[in-house]
Amino acid sequence: MSKKPSIGIIGSGFSGLAAAIGLKQAGFDDFVVFERAEGPGGVWRHNTYPGAACDVASSLYSFSFEPNPNWSRPFAPQPEIKGYLEHCVEKYGLTGHMRYGVEIAAATFDEESGTWTIETTTGDKSEFDIVVAAGGQLTRPSFPKIPGIETFDGTVFHSAEWNHDHDLTGERVAVVGNGASAVQLVPQIVDKTRTLTVFQRSAEYLIPKPDYLQANWEHKLYDRVPGVLRALRGAWWSIGEYVNPALTLPMSRTARHAYLAPLYLASKAQLRLQIRDKELRRKLTPDYQMGCKRILLSSNYYPALARENADVVTDSITEITPNGIMTADGTKHEVDTIVFATGFQAGGFVAPMTVRGLDGQDLSGSWNGEPQAYLGLTVTGFPNFFLMYGPNTNFGGGSIVYILESQARYLVDAVRTLAARKVAYMDVKPEAFDAFSTEAQRRLRNSVWATGGCHSWYTNDKGKVTNNWPGLMSEYRRRTAKVNPADYRFVPADR
């Protein structure tokens, strides 16, 4: 590659912008960012449900090179995070690189030319030397397959596609699911509803959320003494890094809960103090190990469920009727609106986009339900193709933004390597790919996500942990600091 490579980036959330800013600052400015929405933000543009906010402290859930001293709260609400990303696009000179309202249908590699062709859903095509898939893990809403859903006469929507035109006032509302989205939205809507019923598959571990409206003096302090904000970021990072060993290392339930004692005891105390009804408290007590599912932060979810017009149903849903929901105990729950707070299809990664590499092989098809990538970034047979927030790069403790910055640095080093070697493309060697995948799964087999007694979006249908990293954030940063040329096959341009 004798010229600066052309790069197509798909997605403009934290992942896509981390890649774009890293490339721009490194002097690689021949890139285009494709975004299906009408502006940047990714998940923080699409998820507008009541109460949508970050559940990682914003001092850490932000770019290290772009600290924000003016967050209104320690855990910023969705509009502020969206605004922060829009600010980053403008400040770092990305506006001219953005292509909004463009959805990518396919990316196809041509071995002869060593280039990728990106095709939009409208049939337009563009050619690039490198493709970066930055759609992430949480982009496509997941709907459970429930018999009769098509017969329901009321209103149905997903929390990630909130219907702001529909008024819930005085309605009988069902919220299916009780994960991170439900925990945030239920307290915001319970007062409007006639009744609110949460259909819960399994209880969650909730710890108090230290959130409040920050005072002007705090903003001034963070602005005038940046070291304070950096120290706060470091403190939150350290907490996440402390938690991670309890999630990744083999431990008994007793040992794990002892290690996580501050969180475990806080969770138990909050449940006991906020839920006085013993039967409701029983329903809300998890029966699996702490950390098996994401540990949630909320100080107002339990009080919302304790209200007279709220109820929690733990019997499984068997059918949806024209005016309600049937559960396994034979009860019919009459409702006017059903809100699915059931998360995302986290294991798809590049779907619904079709990605074809060497010999026309399809990426999703080659994974066959078990997505894997070398360091979560590259896949054998898909040259010059990089994943942001790919398989096995999520963390149970800490901030994904820290990982995205690590991946952006690796991407920049890979682009530098391609340009310096003047080769057509680089493809991760099968032995490096297989060795990493084997190592990751060997370590993850003993993690709480595989042994903790729950089912979560961290695993696939077979119980294999496909989304999470098997170690510390610091380990990931170290292992992605630079490209190891020995792990890649470099194909010359004049082959």
Residue 223 predicted with pLDDT over 60: yes
pLDDT surpasses 70 at 228: yes
d(CA 36, CA 323): 35
Tell me if 7-140+345-492 shares its fold with 149-212+244-340: yes
303 burial (CB, 10 Å; 0-12 / 13-18 / 19+) is middle
**Each residue's pLDDT tens digit, 299-341:** 999 999 999 999 999 999 999 999 999 999 999 999 999 999 9
Per-residue model confidence (pLDDT) at position 256: 94
Q: What is the pTM of this model?
A: 0.96
pLDDT given at position 1: 60
Residue 495 has pLDDT above 70, yes or no: no
Average of per-residue pLDDT across 172-187: 97
CATH 3.30.450.80 fits 149-212+244-340, yes or no: no
- Cα–Cα distance between 358 and 114 in angstroms, integer? 10
Q: What are phi and psi of 325, to 5 degrees?
A: -125, 130
Alpha carbons 66 and 55: distance in angstroms, whole number: 19
Fold exhibited by the domain 7-140+345-492: FAD/NAD(P)-binding domain (3.50.50)
Residue 348, pLDDT above cutoff 80:
no
Strands (E), 341-447: 354-356, 385-387, 423-428
* Exposed e or buried b per residue across 101-114, where buried means at least 16 C-beta atoms within 10 angstroms of its C-beta: ebebebbbbeeeeb
**Average pLDDT of the residues of the chain:** 96
Which pLDDT score is estimated for 351? 85
| Contact by Cβ (8 Å): 89, 40 | yes
Structure confidence at residue 219 as a pLDDT band (50, 70, 90): very high
For the chain, the domains span 7-140+345-492, 149-212+244-340
- Two structure tokens written together for 56: 């990682």
The Cα 345–Cα 351 span in angstroms is 9
